[in-house]
Each structure stands twice: as structure tokens, then as C-alpha cells.
Amino acid sequence: MKAVLLFLGGVGFQEILLIGIFVLVFFGAKKIPEFMKGLGKGVREFKDAMSDVKKEVEDAGKQSGRLDDGK
């Protein structure tokens, strides 16, 4: 949560409220749940991809360690 606060910097409650109202007017009340669902899927896919990359790096490190032991 601290990273989110650092990212927002000097954005206060009034600015966030103004952005929320703009989104509501621009997208409409019916489109917001669809937008949030898509955003959630995107975040989930990003996290899955990050964990896959992390696993591949760890596996490559283990594989490299086995090759070094065999010399």
C-alpha cells in the first residue's frame, strides 16, 4: 500500500473524487463494472506472467548450479 501512496504523491481526496466523477460521466455507470473486470483480468494476467518468469529464472539458476557441480 505504501508504494501506491508514493506513486500518488500529492494527489489528495478532492483530486481522486474529481477523477472518479469524470470516469463516471465519461464511461457511464453501466460500463464501469466491465472496465473494472477487464482491469482485474489484466492485473491477474500480469501477476501470473511475473510468477512464471520468476519460476523460469529460479529453474535456470538450479539447472546452472547442477551443471557447475558436474565439472
How many Å apart are CA 55 and CA 18, to the nearest integer? 41
User: Cα–Cα distance between 8 and 25 in angstroms, integer?
Assistant: 22
Mean predicted confidence (pLDDT) in 42-70 = 84
Could you please report the per-residue DSSP string of 16-50?
Answer: HHHHHHHHHHHH-TTHHHHHHHHHHHHHHHHHHHH
Residue 19 pLDDT level (bands cut at 50, 70, 90) = confident
pLDDT digits (tens, 9 = 90+) for 24-40: 888 888 888 888 899 89
Q: Is 67 helix (H, G, I), strand (E, B) or coil?
A: helix
